[in-house]
Structure 1
Amino acid sequence: MLTVPKRRLLLSAGAAAGAVAAPAGAGFAIRSAIGANHAAPASGHGGPHGVSGMAGDNIVVGVVDHARNGFDPHAILTDWDVGTVVTDPDGTRVREWVVTAVDTEVEIAPEVMFPAWTFDGRIPGPTLRCTEGEKLRIIFQNGSAHPHTMHFHGIHSWRMDGVPYAGLAQPGERFVYEFEAKPFGCHLYHCHALPLKRHIHKGMYGAFIVDPDPARHPEARGAAESRLLGSARNAAWQEIMLCMNGFDTNFDEENEVYAVNTVAFAYQQRPIRVERQRRLRIYLINITEFDPINSFHLHGNFFDYYDHGTTLTPTLRTVDTIMQCQGQRGILEIDWSEHEPGIYMFHAHQSEFAELGWMSHFEVV
């Protein structure tokens, strides 16, 4: 007897109906454009559905209310949070943030609301960005109804590890994390309170990017400067952050929705615009719960990959697909200069993930 996974059944009624949205929280309807004969729009931002009219596309019916969510996945691409630089009484220069745990509802697909636990009311949380060697201070305030922590992937004291016995904040409490920013790279922070899988899949995670200090890397100073936010070499690059995630909407420990930066099909409905003459750097993080791996596949081009972003020379050269387990991350560098302008697809190379929301496009201009 053939058994169809529940998450696929959620799609079948909506896809068959063509344009009938499923009830909120029960899944989402897919509009199939197979056999359609429409040209791509002149602009990836043209119309509410971007390139969804192109033959063979699947896309959700309707659009997510980003204003109600309090964040837009397109803004999340580049909204680096560099905190505030303060000087302590002893003269020490410190980069400081205030981050608050908030319980809220997030619309992850049209009319699909997810009861989330978040950092600063968004998924992923703020992208914290700093420079190698800086002293960091993160003032974590727990405004949630549940105990939480902030665990940073990096090098620090056990006292600052953000685990149940070191850095746990009960509701209404706060904890101050202090450590040096090292090593440089593309990192992650997330709640490490128990049960761990529940805190992660509910949305408590974000990107933590440590730029290399060029003075510490004279042998590769140019490469280091290209990653240092605010430098002239860095300004020549386009940089974005993509967080691969999934959502278990009925809490059966199986994801019904997949996305990058939380909203299903967000970058298919409205492609990410890329300038052909400027190289693209992607800070890619996988925090998908309930699946052992996630992946990134680029159409029509190849890229260099820096695993964890902790080297200034590529781990892999000239690849178009990489896999990441949960918590793994890396940096992708892509050159479009020899490509014609147009719409280039990227997505998970697990087809089920792509069909359930992790499908996107770049618009090269």
Structure 2
Amino acid sequence: MKFPGDGAITRREAIIGSAALGGGALAQLDAARAEQPIHADHARAETPPTHGDHGGMTTVGAVDDARNGFDPLAMLTDWDTGTVSRDSAGRTVREFEVTAEDKEIEIAPGLMFPAWTYNGRVPGPALRVTEGDRVRIRFLNRGSHPHTMHFHGIHSARMDGVPGAGVAEPGGEFVYEFDAFPFGCHLYHCHFVPLRRHIHKGMYGAFVIDPDPARRPDQAEAARSRLLGTPENAGWQELVMVMNAFDTNFDDENEVYAVNTVAHAYAKRPIPIERSRPVRIYLVNITEFDPINSFHLHANFFDYYDHGTTLTPTLRTVDTIMQCQAQRGILEFSFRDHEPGLYMFHAHQSEFAELGWMGNFEVRA
């Protein structure tokens, strides 16, 4: 078998081959180069992550969260609700500051990726507002290329964050301002050209608009359960998961898959879940170069709210959901009747799971 860099195989083939070898030959190559971090800004990457340990199911080693400046486990519940004030009409105004910057991040143990980021992290901050809020985002571009913030929602053409409307040049800034509609699980991303490059380099994040119970009294209880800060919402365990992937050798084919960027982060550090409290996942797919991604829950089923724009499920009692790029939704389920233990979740494209998109819930009594 030939190694990466000799023109014989791609990184994707090498990673899969590593699993089949049980980490043998490729693990030896890894050990020989262990002192050097792997950089993904070359035409061909030198060393793939290996799957030799952990039953051949995960990458080997640990990512340095401190160096990255973000922790995938903390990202699950790290909502940015902005600075809150009131305007002259008494309406809630939420203000945010988001900065674009170039930053090298570690996406798998020892594998560095030259990312373009919002606030130094991938995905960018998970912005959360309430339906009807006035939203104001000061966007500063400290990166090396023009960038934007395109929000999936309702707004004017001037605020669309596309070439000609809302572009921040390097060293410049732009202020986006709009009212938050409709409620649901949404996203934002850079919409400058070439679009696929700006997205796959890391410029995206979750944008959640909570429903206003006062606007729908017939479904007020369901709306309050989604509204951050209410007693009804406090009973839920809410998690934000952004499904993403990385083309490490820039051949328009992904080599690493993940939720919230770091391969197998939640396989190595399972997500703690209280058995008595229901779970709500805000799931967003922003994977480039693959037409669909998916989420599969082991040993359980969930209700699904496509785009999160309804308070009644669009699908009931399913255990797998597919999403194309930019599609998103809300999953609700419970482990109340399950015994404590580890419950797996992953993409149900086996290759995606093997290359990083797999994790576990640790259900506790």
TM-score, length basis structure 1 = 0.90
The question of whether the paired residues in 1 share the 8 Å contact of 2:14 and 2:48 is answered with no
CA distance in structure 2 between the partners assigned to 1:88 and 1:297 by the alignment? 44
The question of whether the paired residues in 2 share the 8 Å contact of 1:257 and 1:356 is answered with yes
Aligned to 1:43: none
Find 2:50's aligned residue among 16, 25, 30. Answer: 30
Aligned to 1:324: 323
Aligned to 1:123: 122
Aligned to 1:12: 17
Counterparts of residues 207-222 of structure 1 (less than 5 Å)? 207-222=206-221
Counterparts of residues 153-168 of structure 1 (less than 5 Å)? 153-168=152-167
CA distance in structure 2 between the partners assigned to 1:276 and 1:358 by the alignment? 24
Please state how far the C-alpha of 1:12 moved relative to its aligned partner. 2.4
User: Which residues of structure 1 form unaligned runs of 5+?
Assistant: 34-51
| AA in 1 matched with 2:49 | A
Q: What is the SS of the residue equivalent to 1:105? A: strand
Aligned to 1:308: 307
Measured against aligned partners, the alpha-carbon deviations of 1:268-326 in whole angstroms (never above 9, x if no partner) come to 00100100000000000000000000000000000000000000000000000000000
Please state how far the C-alpha of 1:18 moved relative to its aligned partner. 7.2
| AA in 2 matched with 1:12 | G
Please state how far the C-alpha of 1:85 moved relative to its aligned partner. 1.1
Aligned to 1:42: none
The question of whether the paired residues in 2 share the 8 Å contact of 1:11 and 1:28 is answered with no
Q: What RMSD, in angstroms, separates the aligned Cα atoms of the two structures?
A: 1.7
Q: Does 1:248 align with 2:253?
A: no
CA distance in structure 2 between the partners assigned to 1:189 and 1:128 by the alignment? 9
Aligned to 1:105: 104
Q: What is the SS of the residue equivalent to 1:194? A: coil
| AA in 1 matched with 2:74 | A
CA distance in structure 1 between the partners assigned to 2:260 and 2:90 by the alignment? 38
Please state how far the C-alpha of 1:8 moved relative to its aligned partner. 1.8
CA distance in structure 2 between the partners assigned to 1:310 and 1:231 by the alignment? 19
Q: Summarize the Cα distance change of 1:57–1:217 in structure 2 as closer, same or farther, 3 Å threshold.
A: farther
CA distance in structure 2 between the partners assigned to 1:18 and 1:146 by the alignment? 37
After superposing the two structures, state which structure 1 stretch, 23-32 or 158-167, moved more: 23-32
The question of whether the paired residues in 2 share the 8 Å contact of 1:11 and 1:29 is answered with no
Counterparts of residues 43-54 of structure 1 (less than 5 Å)? 52=54
Counterparts of residues 1-365 of structure 1 (less than 5 Å)? 6-13=11-18, 15-17=23-25, 19-20=27-28, 21=30, 24-25=38-39, 26=45, 27-32=47-52, 52=54, 56-88=55-87, 93-365=92-364
| AA in 2 matched with 1:225 | R
Please state how far the C-alpha of 1:73 moved relative to its aligned partner. 0.3
Aligned to 2:3: none
The question of whether the paired residues in 2 share the 8 Å contact of 1:288 and 1:294 is answered with yes
Please state how far the C-alpha of 1:61 moved relative to its aligned partner. 1.5
Q: Summarize the Cα distance change of 1:92–1:228 in structure 2 as closer, same or farther, 3 Å threshold.
A: closer
The question of whether the paired residues in 2 share the 8 Å contact of 1:124 and 1:204 is answered with yes
Q: What is the SS of the residue equivalent to 1:229? A: coil
The question of whether the paired residues in 2 share the 8 Å contact of 1:119 and 1:126 is answered with yes
The question of whether the paired residues in 2 share the 8 Å contact of 1:28 and 1:109 is answered with no
The question of whether the paired residues in 2 share the 8 Å contact of 1:18 and 1:31 is answered with no
The question of whether the paired residues in 2 share the 8 Å contact of 1:28 and 1:110 is answered with no
Measured against aligned partners, the alpha-carbon deviations of 1:64-119 in whole angstroms (never above 9, x if no partner) come to 00000000000100000000013457765411000000100000001100000000
Q: What is the SS of the residue equivalent to 1:353? A: helix
Please state how far the C-alpha of 1:6 moved relative to its aligned partner. 4.4
| AA in 2 matched with 1:31 | H
Measured against aligned partners, the alpha-carbon deviations of 1:9-38 in whole angstroms (never above 9, x if no partner) come to 2442573347443751435332345xxxxx
CA distance in structure 1 between the partners assigned to 2:86 and 2:307 by the alignment? 31
Please state how far the C-alpha of 1:59 moved relative to its aligned partner. 1.4
Aligned to 1:47: none
CA distance in structure 1 between the partners assigned to 2:205 and 2:100 by the alignment? 12
CA distance in structure 1 between the partners assigned to 2:123 and 2:346 by the alignment? 18
User: Which residues of structure 2 form unaligned runs of 5+?
Assistant: 1-7, 40-44
CA distance in structure 2 between the partners assigned to 1:146 and 1:93 by the alignment? 33
Q: Summarize the Cα distance change of 1:13–1:331 in structure 2 as closer, same or farther, 3 Å threshold.
A: closer
TM-score, length basis structure 2 = 0.90
Aligned to 1:37: none
Q: Percent identity?
A: 68
Q: Summarize the Cα distance change of 1:92–1:304 in structure 2 as closer, same or farther, 3 Å threshold.
A: closer
Q: What is the SS of the residue equivalent to 2:223? A: helix
Measured against aligned partners, the alpha-carbon deviations of 1:196-242 in whole angstroms (never above 9, x if no partner) come to 00000000000000000000111111110000000000000000000
| AA in 2 matched with 1:130 | V
Please state how far the C-alpha of 1:121 moved relative to its aligned partner. 0.5
The question of whether the paired residues in 2 share the 8 Å contact of 1:272 and 1:363 is answered with yes
Q: What is the SS of the residue equivalent to 1:162? A: coil
Q: Summarize the Cα distance change of 1:280–1:199 in structure 2 as closer, same or farther, 3 Å threshold.
A: same
